[in-house]
Amino acid sequence: MPLAALIGAHVMAAPIIHTDDTPIAVLAPGNGKTRTGRLWTYVVDERPWQGERAPAAYYRFSPDRRANGRAIIWPSFAARSRPTPLAATKP
C-alpha cells in the first residue's frame, strides 16, 4: 500500500479531524490560463490531550470547490465536518 494511503487511513481513523482547503492556481489545459483548484488538508493531532495517535497531515486535491472536496474525498465525514464560514476568515 502506498505511504500516502497509509497516512490517509491513519488520519481518517481519528475521532477528531481538522480540515481546511486552500485555493491554488491550476493550469487549465488548452488555453494557457489558470483556474482555481483546492488543496484539502486533513490533520490529526491528539497531543494536547495526551491522545494515543501519532500526529499526521494528509493532503488531497480537488479541481474546484463547486464539487465540495470534503464530500468527494471523504463522503462518510462530509456530514460531520464543520468548515470555517468564509465570512469569518475575512478581516
- % helix, strand, coil for the chain, step of 5: 30, 35, 40
Prediction pTM value:
0.68
Domain ranges of the chain: 3-75
Does residue 69 or residue 35 have the better pLDDT? 35
Cell of 54: 501519532
49 Ramachandran zone, left/alpha/beta (phi>0; psi -120 to 50): alpha
Please determine, for residue 3, whether its predicted confidence score (pLDDT) is greater than 90. Answer: yes
Query: What does the pLDDT look like over 17-27, one tens digit per residue?
Result: 888 888 999 98
Strand arrangement, sheet containing 33-44? 18-28, 33-44, 56-62
Average pLDDT of the residues in 54-64: 88
